[in-house]
């Protein structure tokens, strides 16, 4: 059983409400999103009609407490949304759930005034939010950020550059990290503070768009802080303890990336299976040949394993189980690598049609590769798992 304590730690429970929500998302994605997939691939923009549809369905309020204008919903609900949207258009899934990289830290660490000021507008879909942490020399290494915030009367002056910031070109509000004090020996995490900045503030600029290989329609930008003044009232959490704000946010958000990967894997499997039954070679369907049949069988097995891991991690988070952090890292690493593998297999099963952009198969490989990198590269997830195990062993030894 180690590192878990009992069989009930492996429980996953879903409700009728979860299934009704999934069905409504499936209908929305098929009827109102799928017709625009090719257009988004060509223009690199998500049409306003899709955004309006998501707003009408209340998707921007999912996972936000009703007292702040949201629809409510637990982590399983959020995972369902990430999976179903990403099955058809992964970039749409990203556009919707990336708001929670602002929402969640404000809900967990922000003041009541900050919650009331920003979250209801995001929940209604009136504004978008972004999370500005990654830098050229600090991605998974949050403690390595170089952006500086210097004390001044009534607040801080911030200077620095952030890269690969999703939603930044449409965001009205940002949560950002900056060093308010140099790191202490042995405590590199200390001295980081998180702030809220708003579009229109002097010194906040949106820079170049990064032409990454996937997620067409929701590709990231550079965000530049040039003597940006942020008042004390916009500090999220305690000064010099922003590292905790950032990494706690990722503990939850990586479950959504894992769910997004399951959506991609599901789409890849469906495309491969359908093609294998329809494509005739040597007077037989492709699936009649063991080389293809075995691939399809393995794809389904890995897909469902990934799905179980993701919803298990989400349920553990909902139950506030301490080991949900390790479960979320396990789910993120496995599900995203499964999505990449299944997308690659789908291409091979399609043969020449698989590398034709018009068939819509190869885009899932491009999107899946990104999921293995953002929200903490998978090697970081493996380090998290190993460190958690070592802590458990150390704690057990102390008790013994």
CATH of residue 169: 2.40.110.10
Total number of domains in the chain = 3
Residue 294: burial class (beta carbons within 10 Å; 0-12, 13-18, 19+) = exposed
- The answer to whether residue 1 sits within a structural domain is no
pLDDT, mean over the chain = 95
Q: Cα–Cα distance between 219 and 244 in angstroms, integer?
A: 27
- The answer to whether residue 366 sits within a structural domain is yes
**CATH assignment at residue 34:** 1.10.540.10
Domain shared by 391 and 254, yes or no:
yes
Read off the tokens for 53: 């549809």
Looking at residue 139, its pLDDT comes to 85
- The answer to whether residue 95 sits within a structural domain is yes
Read off the tokens for 374: 């953002």
Looking at residue 298, its pLDDT comes to 98
Domain shared by 215 and 248, yes or no:
no
Looking at residue 212, its pLDDT comes to 93
Looking at residue 185, its pLDDT comes to 86
B/e letters for 54-76, b = 16+ CB within 10 Å, e = fewer, are beebbbbbbbbeeebbbbebbbb
Looking at residue 231, its pLDDT comes to 98
- The answer to whether residue 319 sits within a structural domain is yes
Domain shared by 117 and 178, yes or no:
no
Domain shared by 165 and 144, yes or no:
yes
Domain shared by 134 and 50, yes or no:
no
What pTM was estimated for this model as a whole? 0.96
Active site members: 375
Closest to 248 in 3D by CA, of 339, 335, 163, 133: 133
Torsion of CA 93, 94, 100, 101, to 10 degrees: 160
pLDDT digits (tens, 9 = 90+) for 296-351: 999 999 999 999 999 999 999 999 998 999 999 999 999 999 999 999 999 999 99
Domain shared by 61 and 111, yes or no:
yes
Task: Tell how far CA 298 is from the center of its chain.
Answer: 26
For the chain, the C-alpha Rg in angstroms (whole number) is: 22
CB 40 within 8 A of CB 216: yes
- The answer to whether residue 51 sits within a structural domain is yes
Read off the tokens for 271: 């495309």
Domain shared by 141 and 114, yes or no:
no
CB 202 within 8 A of CB 224: no
What is the domain range of residue 308?
244-399
Domain shared by 178 and 303, yes or no:
no
Domain shared by 250 and 376, yes or no:
yes
- The answer to whether residue 97 sits within a structural domain is yes
Domain final position from 190, 214, 240: 240
Residue ranges, the chain, pLDDT below 70: 396-400
Domain shared by 52 and 117, yes or no:
yes
Kind of pairing, strands 171-179 and 128-132? parallel
Cβ-based neighbours of 67, under 8 Å, separated by 6 or more: none
- The answer to whether residue 2 sits within a structural domain is no
Domain final position from 240, 272, 294: 240
Looking at residue 216, its pLDDT comes to 95
Domain shared by 21 and 135, yes or no:
no
- The answer to whether residue 18 sits within a structural domain is yes
Residue 315: burial class (beta carbons within 10 Å; 0-12, 13-18, 19+) = buried
Looking at residue 398, its pLDDT comes to 61
Read off the tokens for 201: 């503030």
Domain shared by 370 and 248, yes or no:
yes
**CATH assignment at residue 381:** 1.20.140.10
| Site of tokens 């998180």 | 194
Domain final position from 108, 123, 138: 123
């Amino acid at each position: 059983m180690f590192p878990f304590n009992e069989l009930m730690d492996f429980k996953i429970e879903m409700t009728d409400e979860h299934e009704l929500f999934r069905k409504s998302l499936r209908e929305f994605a098929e009827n109102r999103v799928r017709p625009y997939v090719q257009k988004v691939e060509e223009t690199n923009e998500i049409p306003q009609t899709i955004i309006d549809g998501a707003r009408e369905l209340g998707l921007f309020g999912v996972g936000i407490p009703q007292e702040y204008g949201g629809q409510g919903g637990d982590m399983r609900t959020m995972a369902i949304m990430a999976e179903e949207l990403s099955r058809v258009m992964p970039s749409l899934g990203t556009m919707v759930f990336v708001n929670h990289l602002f929402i969640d830290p404000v809900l967990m660490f922000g003041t009541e005034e900050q919650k009331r000021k920003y979250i209801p507008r995001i929940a209604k879909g009136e504004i978008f939010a972004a999370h500005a942490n990654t830098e050229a020399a600090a991605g998974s290494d949050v403690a390595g950020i170089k952006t500086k915030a210097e004390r001044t009367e009534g607040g801080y002056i911030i200077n620095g550059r952030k890269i690969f910031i999703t939603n930044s070109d449409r965001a009205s509000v940002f949560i950002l990290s900056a060093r308010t004090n140099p790191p202490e020996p042995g405590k590199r995490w200390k001295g980081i503070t998180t702030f809220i900045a708003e579009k229109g503030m002097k010194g906040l600029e949106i820079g170049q768009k990064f032409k990454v290989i996937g997620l067409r329609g929701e590709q990231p930008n550079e965000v530049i802080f040039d003597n940006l003044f942020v008042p004390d009232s916009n500090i999220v959490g305690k000064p010099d303890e922003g590292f905790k704000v950032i990494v706690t946010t990722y503990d939850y958000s990586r479950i959504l990336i894992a769910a997004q990967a399951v959506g991609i894997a599901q789409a890849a499997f469906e495309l491969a299976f359908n093609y294998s039954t329809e494509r005739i070679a040597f007077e037989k369907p492709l699936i009649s040949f063991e080389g293809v049949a075995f691939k399809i069988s393995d794809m389904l097995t890995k897909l469902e394993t990934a799905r179980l891991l993701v919803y298990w991690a989400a349920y553990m988070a909902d139950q506030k189980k301490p080991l949900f952090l390790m479960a979320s890292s396990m789910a993120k690493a496995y599900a995203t690598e499964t999505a990449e593998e299944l997308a690659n297999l789908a291409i091979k099963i399609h043969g020449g049609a698989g590398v034709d952009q018009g068939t819509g198969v190869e885009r899932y490989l491009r999107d899946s590769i990104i999921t293995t990198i953002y929200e903490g590269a998978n090697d970081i997830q493996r380090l998290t798992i190993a460190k958690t195990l070592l802590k458990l062993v150390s704690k057990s030894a102390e008790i013994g």
